[in-house]
Structure 1
Amino acid sequence: MELGLHIADFTWNDGPARLGPALADHVRSAEEAGIARITVMDHFWQIRGVGPADHEMLEAYTTLGFIVAHTSRARLHTLVTGVTYREPGLLAKQISTLDALSGGRVGLGIGAAWNDEESAGLGFAFPPTAERFERLEEAIQICRQMWSDADGPYQGRHYQLGRTLNVPQVSRKPYLMIGGGGEKKTLRLVAKYADACNIGGSPEVVAHKLDVLRRHCDAVGRDYDEIEKTTIFPMDPGTSSDDIVRAADALRPLGFTAAYVFAREITDRAAIVDRLGAAVPRLR
């Protein structure tokens, strides 16, 4: 099982004035420690469950561009982009740009968005749940069309594009992850479109979610084994490398091949990488 560093909090001992050098060192150290994937949240305020809203938070795609320049091997993407934050044509172009600049290492993680407080605060539209899922499916379709040889129009219920021209074209279809475990809508979209899902929770919870995903795959004629199963869990100040290995090992028998770990209330970024790095060889 691969370990991913999910950077969910940028409030480190270095302080906000040194975020650039600190982040560059953080991601370089992660690669050197054998961490195969690096992801960031797509939020504009810190989210509940990680820290207070006024903790440091960086815009996701600017940050991914910075990380591209300071890494050479890791797979990079958001975990995950809220569909309501960007027009799909812009989002597809952002991924294409990062694909070109990274040598094909950047993928798209996407979901239906959930942070109504953040959206209201910054003026983002936040339609009802059903509409957000309609927009999510259309956004995925637009991205797939822009990452293909087709450059014709796209006419959806919520998005209309006159020409889906995308140059330079991606070197290969970017890795597409759909995040979340919603059984009626999210996992249906995973079965229909995604290369990977990301489902958190106890082994019992995720086993049930995977059964639901398998049924959706059967319904749409998709090979369940084509979809990579990934998970996410936190690292707190008291979390050891042993704890990380145990949490990941508990999900490995269910078919999970990657676990993204995010730190909460750990301001010493070197400690984050040290603990993850110590766990990496034990999960191979």
Structure 2
Amino acid sequence: MTHFGIGVSTAVAAVPGTLKLALQADQAGLDLLTVSDHPYYADRLDAYAEIGVLLGRTERISGLVSVTNLPTRPASMLARTITSLSALTGGRIVLGMGVGGLWDDIARLGFTKLTPGQAVRAFEEGVRLVKMLGGGGEPVTFDGEFYQVTNLEPAEEAMPPLWTGSVGPKSLAVTGRVADGWMPGRAADWLSERYRTSRPVIDQAAVDAGRDPGDIVTVYNFPGRITTEALKNTRADDGRWIGGSPDQWIEELTGAVLEHGAAGFVLFGPGGSTPDETSAARWAGEIVPAVREAVAK
């Protein structure tokens, strides 16, 4: 399955538009609504409060916090949040997890500032523990460097797919060992240097862990303009996607799936902005159905 989504704002001031865009995406048949997680900013909504409300207002679309700021959301509680949302929505949730990067901001919230090495080790422990706390089974005891639980009963609800936003080589290797998917950082796509150097790290770590690299999907945050007329150049001099007409988007995304194994795309506006209503309608009504049809052939 190829996933098609849209990134929505977390701004408190944008709530009416965000609710409208979520309903539009759901009714148009998109697969994913995504929100970012920056709880240290007072003018931003809490990601899980927002995704819970958006899922409560919609019927078919799934939610994804892209990606959960793990240092501010302890793994055992994150697992409870995710399995609860899954139970409440009939499984309409994907779990995104990240190492954490803005450590001065994280520290201002009262959480311990970790070194890069500690952060990656805590990330791997967190992913492993979260996965153990869904799907029923025997009580879990976990005695790690950063996480400890004793005889904690897993939720009966299955843990949904877990995608990471790994960037550095050590966290990419964690993705290969324990995750189900990867969303390349900084909106890198399948033609980028970041992808070309990062995906092999994931694949090798998967092989070393006895896993099939093909089981780890790649889903892209993909910003760009949707224009009425075709653009002469759809990519900038540095290779980054600019956008183009619906036909140009359709050609680009179809090629990404068929030639590069892309498993999904989340639309953003230029520079990572929230797509406007017109762009969202063209994405869901013209581009996504055509790509789905082309891929199915």
Per the TM superposition, whether the score is higher than 0.5 is: yes
Q: 1:76 to 1:95 in 2, by over 3 A?
A: same
Q: Does 1:255 align with 2:258?
A: no
CA distance in 2 between partners of 1:151 and 1:241 (Å): 53
Q: 1:23 to 1:254 in 2, by over 3 A?
A: same
What residue number does 1:175 align with? 161
Q: What do residues 133-191 of structure 1 show as CA deviations (whole Å, max 9, x unaligned)?
A: 11111111211221141213211111111232244x21x331111112423x2221122
CA distance in 2 between partners of 1:129 and 1:247 (Å): 36
Q: 1:267 to 1:134 in 2, by over 3 A?
A: closer
Contact 1:241 1:279 (8 Å CA) reproduced: no
Letter in 2 for 1:276: W
Unaligned runs of 5+ in 2: 228-242, 293-297
Q: Cα distance, 1:272 vs. partner?
A: 3.8
CA distance in 1 between partners of 2:4 and 2:245 (Å): 12
CA distance in 2 between partners of 1:237 and 1:247 (Å): 13
> SS state of the match for residue 162, structure 1?
strand
Contact 2:10 2:36 (8 Å CA) reproduced: no
Q: Give RMSD over aligned pairs.
A: 2.5
What residue number does 2:287 align with? 279
Contact 1:249 1:283 (8 Å CA) reproduced: yes
What residue number does 1:194 align with? 179
Q: 1:149 to 1:201 in 2, by over 3 A?
A: same
Letter in 2 for 1:198: M
> SS state of the match for residue 133, structure 1?
helix
Q: Does 1:101 align with 2:88?
A: yes
Q: 1:152 to 1:268 in 2, by over 3 A?
A: closer
What residue number does 1:162 align with? 150
Aligned residue pairs: how many? 267
TM-score (norm 1): 0.83
Q: Does 1:152 align with 2:140?
A: yes
The share of aligned pairs that are identical, in percent, is 23
What residue number does 1:82 align with? 69
Q: 1:130 to 1:90 in 2, by over 3 A?
A: same
Higher RCO structure, 1 or 2 (CA under 8 Å, sep 6+): 1
> SS state of the match for residue 217, structure 1?
helix
Q: Does 1:23 align with 2:11?
A: no
Q: Cα distance, 1:227 vs. partner?
A: 1.5
Contact 1:3 1:276 (8 Å CA) reproduced: no
Q: 1:127 to 1:247 in 2, by over 3 A?
A: farther
What residue number does 2:5 align with? 4
CA distance in 2 between partners of 1:6 and 1:267 (Å): 6
TM-score (norm 2): 0.80
Q: 1:114 to 1:244 in 2, by over 3 A?
A: farther
